[in-house]
Amino acid sequence: MPTYRFENIETGEIFEKWMLMAEKEPYLKENPHLKPLIPTQMNVGEVGDWQNKLISKNPGWNDVLGRAAKMPGSNVKKI
């Protein structure tokens, strides 16, 4: 479920609320004193190559790719 940010226009309080997407519009209609705020940017990232992570977390993955590469008409290659 996403987290939404709201501002109470009467008090200036800013808060977050966790709810389903379908609940947001009815919540705003029931609370006309609230103003939705633009979501803050979520910085999510990792360092490193996706291929190395795939192989290190799934050591048998290259075996699976090798079997798939042997199928007629396949253009699959091992990492």
Every domain of the chain and the residues it spans: 3-36, 48-79
How does residue 6 score in pLDDT terms, banded at 50, 70 and 90? very high
pLDDT of residue 1 exceeding 80, the answer is: no
Measured CA to CA in angstroms, residue 64 lies from 37, 52, 58, 67, 78 at distances of 46, 16, 10, 5, 9
Phi, psi of 57 (to 5 degrees): -85, -20
pLDDT tens digits for range 18-58 = 999 999 999 999 999 999 998 766 666 666 666 666 666 66
For 8, list phi and psi in degrees, rounded to 5.
-80, 110
